[in-house]
A and B are shown apart, each in its own frame.
Chain A
Amino acid sequence: MPKRLASSLSYEVLEHVFSFIQSDKDRNVVSAVLCKSWYEIERWCRRKIFVGNCYAVSPKMVIRRFPQVRSIELKGKPHFADFNLVPDGWGGYVLPWITEMAGAYPWLDEIRLKRMVVTDESLELIAKSFKDFKVLVLASCEGFSTDGLAAIAASCKNLRELDLRESEVDDTSVHWLSHFPETYTSMVSLNISCLGSGEVSFSALERLVSRCPNLRSLKLNRAVPLDKTANILRLAPRLVEFSACTYSAELRSDVFSNLAGAFSNCKELRSLSGFWDVVPDYLPAIYSVCSRLTSLNLSYATILSPDLIKLVSHCPSLQRLLVLDYIEDSGLEALASNCKDLQELRVFPSDPFDAEPNASLTEQGLVAVSLGCPKLQSVLYFCRRMSNAALVTIAQSHPNLNRFRLCIIEPNTADYLTGEPLDVGFGAIVEHCKDLIRLSLSGLLTDCVFEYIGKYAKKLEMLSVAFAGDSDLGLHHVLSGCESLRKLEIRDCPFGDKALLTNAAKLETMQSLWMSSCSVSFEACKLLSQKMPRLNVEVIDERGPPDSRPENCTVDKLYIYRSVAGPRFDMPPFVWTKDE
């Protein structure tokens, strides 16, 4: 842009223009940019910040660069922490961030955290420091109790959203819901589905629901019995999202009709979840809303295929379905013929630790959905067998897939038809699905599949690998070929020093790399760390100092991430870096 033109646009105009640029990527481009004034303007008017790795940057740096932030999203532990691969105490503490922001951002109104350790102290600080606090989302977080929630409830009079999805909350038996004052009426979205049964008082809940006319999303925990469910639905007929509660074990017609009536009142309901302990006889109570449902999460429900088929046949508008493998191939075929708008499918295993399948779910189900649902974009599928042919079919019928995560439960499972590795199948996926941004591999895989991935998966941002590959060449293909790669997580693969050191520079272009139970030596880690000062190389090893073991001993877990903040100060004793 010519200099003359740039300087002739006033500050206010530019600020107005920038306000239309919402995406973080685009905002980053704007500020990275063209001239100092744009950089300055952008930094002053930036309101939302997303930090994908809380250790990549320090809170002070963020505050210095963006002084007027209103909304922050932070992520802490690496993804594999979800599967217990990251030991307790590794890190991800939010308190330092809250402490800094409490002083610097008095108008902060949204905090979204994922996989972070949040203490009651942090929650109390939030409650005290941000006068207009509106949104608190704690996804897969831990370290806090109902005491902290009580502080939030008591102080945040403009709170609109409180979402504790999948967090671990300690129950201190505080009736925290009662801490919302009687004058509080702003709740729009409440998700407390992770709480145990002792932690919610029904009467407080009913009073809260009845005085919040803007409530649109309500996800309760499983301890709310059926008759209460109906009551609550009647108090909030404008709900868009609802998490259904515990169903009692036997069908009672009065309870049934009350529930059915309550549901039929909810004309705006689009998303249902929960369904723990549901008894199929009660399912027809929701039929009145099914035709409008776009999202259904049945992944905790032990309902079997015939009942699932009946249910999905009532839901032609379904876009998103989460379900257990009880749906079986027959259920997925029914889904494919009924739900032509389906965009996302997730099928979880009901009994993952049993080598014998307890439901007749195979790759055929996925193929059926793939062939029948033209809008399918996102797949997460657990099964026990797969074939290259099926993968090729899926790939060719779905070039618009953007997320494909396949988990064949038994590691190293070959193509059940040919006995071959599944390289060709996954190769077809990356070749045909040019917009693929997330991929998880499983089954028997050689270095070939990584060659395909490196060659074709140009838009891939996140790759998860387990029990795959033959040699360093596999890792090398990925690191040298995948241009858009941000996150790579690997476990139990024979990848070692060579690939890592050869591609050291690549690691600075990525957000993070996780490798556990691979073949990387501590020496290589130290070398990498020395070569690349802008990388934090963390060796996570609970067995003791890595250099106290023989030279050729490999590290247990390795987490490498780029950082402008330097080494962190809160490392536990089992994290080793080059300085120890």
Chain B
Amino acid sequence: MSTPLEHDYTGLSETSSVERSSDKIPSSSSSSSSSTHPNEDKTTRTSLNLKGIELRLGLPGSQSPERKVSLFCKDLESNERSNGFAVSLKNLMSGAKRGFSDAIDGPNGKWVFPMNGKSDVELAKGAILASPRAVLEGKNKLPSGREVGGLPQSPKPVQDKNILVRSANEHSNAPASKAQVVGWPPIRSFRKNTMASNSAKNSEDAAGCLYVKVSMDGAPYLRKVDLKTYKTYKEISSALEKMFTCFTLGIQSLACTYIYFNTRYGTAAPMDLLYGESRLMDLLHGSEYVLTYEDKDGDWMLVGDVPLDSKSNEEMQEPELMQKHVEDDKQIKS
């Protein structure tokens, strides 16, 4: 099977999720990204997005040794401080990145944002983005050769990719490469933890929910889950599995790893795979169509995950009927 060179519908490069999950996610905030990709406008648009946390699932059969769930969130421009949230999700991010198994085997098995505050300076600066073609910014540094959460690190940054780095063992006292010197600046752990969870709270929905976007490689749209409704990683994992089962089954039944529905960006989907999608249709229940909308990040989201009265629905723009199966490129174009 040939690995497609183009991006999938989310705009992410189709390299293995290992690489994807172990590299750094650069800030997308610069609209002067050197990408010549037609989606540059999306980059700009996305950089203005202040909230949003995204989960990305690796596909089964991908190179990563286990399913990895990682959290990362959007970078906040330091000059976008109108509502005091500039403290930034950076701290959240740096504390929150762990391998799935690490997280699930945590001391209480609970979902905790580990806020030891030993955030890596580099990690703190890195930011993520759902937009395609985010480019590594100058100020984001890759930690050099540090072992990360059980995953071998990708040796060099790949341009045009959203990449994610996990923090090293949060409990380690070893001084970091650049500069996380242990215990400096001298701020009490209590304060560090509190400030870090301040950032977490600031990114939440008004109703006290924590909606997180979940994308799965190859799926035609994303989903949103309210993390607050889950208490353990196991619960989240099974809920996500249920959500994406239809795609998984479809993929498995097609006996190939990737399905490309990314036709918005003008990339050609491997036509040979598309002929198998009628089987996919069989597996999906109900009608041929689902209602989707394009959110401010440019992602297609399934309508219904976020309650109608919730604040996050502000972002719903034009709902779009999306066919569950794709017959040709043009049908799911916005």
Binding site for B on A (CB under 8 A): 80, 82-85, 87, 140, 166, 168, 194, 246, 248-250, 276-277, 280, 299-300, 302-304, 307, 326, 348-356, 358, 382, 407, 409, 411, 440, 464, 466, 491-492
Q: A277-B198, A280-B84, A302-B84 are in contact. Are A354 and B183 (CB under 8 A)?
A: no
| Known interface pairs A302-B87, A351-B87; A84-B187 also in contact (CB < 8 Å) | no
- How many Å lie between the Cα of A483 and that of B248 in the bound state? 74
Q: A277-B202, A352-B185 are in contact. Are A140 and B190 (CB under 8 A)?
A: yes
Q: In the complex, A272 Cα to B237 Cα: how many Å?
A: 42
* Residues on the A chain within 8 Å of B88, using CB: 351, 358
Residue from A85, A304, A464 in contact with B182 in the complex, judged by beta carbons closer than 8 Å: A85
Docked CA distance A409–B121 (Å): 13
Instruction: Say whether B189 contacts A353, CB under 8 Å.
Output: no
Closest to B173 in A: A84
Q: Are A302 and B202 in contact (CB under 8 A)?
A: yes
> B90 — which chain A residues lie within 8 A by C-beta?
351, 354
Identify the closest chain B residue to A170 (Cβ). Answer: B108
Q: A82-B189, A84-B182 are in contact. Are A276 and B194 (CB under 8 A)?
A: yes
CA gap between A55 and B186 in the complex, in Å: 25
In the complex, whether B68 has a CB less than 8 A from a CB of chain A is no
Which residues does chain B contribute within 8 Å of A248, judged by CB atoms? 206, 208
Assess whether A356 is in contact with B78, with CB atoms less than 8 Å apart: yes
Please classify the interface of chain A as helix (H, G, I), strand (E, B), loop, or mixed, using the class held by over half of its residues.
loop
Q: When the two chains form their complex, are residues A355 and B185 in contact, meaning their CB atoms are under 8 A apart?
A: no
* Chain B: number of interface residues, binned into ranges: 35 or more
Docked-complex contact A358 and B183, CB < 8 angstroms: no
With A83-B183, A194-B190, A348-B187 already in contact, the answer to whether A304 and B206 are too (CB < 8 A) is no
Please determine whether B195 and A354 come into contact, CB atoms closer than 8 angstroms.
Answer: no
**B182-209, CB < 8 A from A:** 182-191, 194-195, 198, 201-202, 204-206, 208
A354–B194 touching, CB < 8 Å: no
Closest 4 CB pairs of A and B: A83-B183, A166-B190, A302-B84, A249-B206
By the criterion CB–CB under 8 Å, are B188 and A303 in contact? no
Interface positions of B from 149 to 192, Cβ below 8 Å from A = 173, 180-191
User: Quick one: which of B180, B184, B194, B205 contacts A300, CB cutoff 8 A?
Assistant: B194
Provide a sorted-by-A list of 14 A–B residue pairs whose CB atoms are within 8 angstroms.
A82-B189, A83-B186, A83-B187, A84-B173, A84-B183, A85-B183, A140-B188, A276-B194, A299-B191, A300-B194, A300-B198, A302-B202, A355-B121, A411-B184
Q: Add 13 more A-B contacts to A83-B187, A307-B84 (CB < 8 A).
A: A83-B182, A83-B184, A84-B183, A85-B183, A87-B173, A299-B191, A304-B84, A349-B185, A349-B187, A354-B121, A354-B124, A382-B185, A491-B183
Name the A residues within 8 Å of B125 (CB-CB): 354
B81 is an interface residue with CB less than 8 A from chain A: yes
Q: Which residues of B contact A356 (CB under 8 A)?
A: 78
The residue of chain A having its C-beta at the shortest distance from the C-beta of B231 within the complex is: A198
Is A353 a contact partner of B121 (Cβ separation < 8 A)? yes
Query: Given the complex, which residues of B lie within 8 Å of A277, measured CB to CB?
Result: 198, 201-202
A144 CA to B206 CA, complexed, in Å: 34
Question: Are A407 and B87 touching (Cβ within 8 A)?
Answer: no
Query: B84 is contacted by which of A80, A250, A326, A382 (Cβ under 8 Å)?
Result: A326
Q: With the chains together, A85 CA to B187 CA distance in Å?
A: 12
Provide the bound-state CA to CA distance between A300 and B202, in Å.
12
- Please indicate the chain B residues that have their CB under 8 angstroms from the CB of A276 in the complex: 194, 198, 201
Q: In whole angstroms, what is the CA distance A87 to B124 when docked?
A: 25
Q: Which residue of A lies closest to B84 (CB)?
A: A302
B181 and A411 contact, CB distance less than 8 A = yes
By beta carbon, the residue of chain A nearest B116 is A84
Contacts of A382 in B (CB 8 A): 185
Q: Which of B75-90 contact A (CB under 8 A)?
A: 78, 81, 84-88, 90
A299 proximity list for chain B (CB < 8 A): 191
| Cβ-neighbour of A353 out of B124, B173, B206 (below 8 A) | B124
Nearest CB in chain B: distance from A221 CB, A: 11
CB pair A304–B81 under 8 Å, yes or no, is: yes
Q: Does B119 contact A (CB under 8 A)?
A: yes
Return chain B residues, CB-CB under 8 Å to A354: 90, 121, 124-125
With both beta carbons as reference points, the residue of chain A lying nearest to B205 in the complex is identified as A249
Tell me, in angstroms, the Cα distance from A91 to B255 when the chains sit together.
58
| A302 in contact with B198 (CB, 8 Å) | yes
A352 CA to B189 CA, complexed, in Å: 13
**Contacting residues, chain A, for B182 (C-beta < 8 A):** 83-85
Residues on the A chain within 8 Å of B190, using CB:
140, 166, 168, 194
Residues of B within 8 A of A82 (CB): 186, 188-189
Given the complex of chains A and B, what is the CA–CA distance between A525 and B183 in angstroms? Answer: 24
Complex: how many Å from CA A492 to CA B88? 30
| CB nearest to B190 among chain A residues | A166
Q: Determine the distance from Cα of A302 to Cα of B87 in the docked complex, in whole angstroms.
A: 7
Q: How far is the CB of B242 from chain A (nearest CB, A)?
A: 26
| CA–CA, A82 and B189, complex, Å | 7
- Return the chain B residue nearest A464 by Cβ: B186
| Contact call B194/A353, Cβ cutoff below 8 A | no
Given the complex of chains A and B, what is the CA–CA distance between A354 and B182 in angstroms? Answer: 15
Decide if B173 touches A302 in the complex (CB within 8 Å).
no
Give the CA-CA distance A211 to B88 in the complex, in Å: 41
Determine the distance from Cα of A284 to Cα of B180 in the docked complex, in whole angstroms: 39
Bound-state CA distance A123–B67 (Å) is 43
CA distance A348 to B118 in the complex (A): 17
Q: Which of B90, B185, B208 is packed against the most chain A CB atoms within 10 Å?
A: B185
Measured in the bound complex, the distance between the Cα atoms of B202 and A475 in whole Å is 45
Interface residues of B in 41-94 (CB under 8 A from A): 78, 81, 84-88, 90-91
CA distance A248 to B202 in the complex (A): 10
Shortest C-beta distance, A338 to chain B (Å), equals: 21
Residues of chain B within 8 A (CB-CB) of A492 are 181
Q: State whether B85 touches A409 (Cβ < 8 A).
A: no
Q: Which residues of B contact A411 (CB under 8 A)?
A: 181, 184
B195, A300: Cβ atoms closer than 8 Å: yes
B195 near A249 (CB under 8 angstroms)? no
Q: Which residues of B contact A349 (CB under 8 A)?
A: 185, 187
| B87 near A352: Cβ-Cβ < 8 Å | no
List, in ascending order, chain A residues with CB within 8 A of B194's CB: 276, 300
Question: Per-residue CB proximity of B104-146 to A under 8 Å, as 1/0?
Answer: 0000000000000011010011000000000000000000000
Q: Is A407 in contact with B198, judged by CB distance below 8 angstroms? A: no
Q: Please indicate the chain B residues that have their CB under 8 angstroms from the CB of A194 in the complex.
A: 190
Give the distance in Å from the alpha carbon of A248 to the alpha carbon of B118 in the complex: 28
A140 contacts which chain B residues (CB < 8 A)?
A: 188, 190
Partner of A358, one of B86, B191, B208: B86
Q: Which residue of chain B lies nearest to A358 when distances are taken between CB atoms in the complex?
A: B78
A350: B residues at CB distance < 8 A: 87, 195
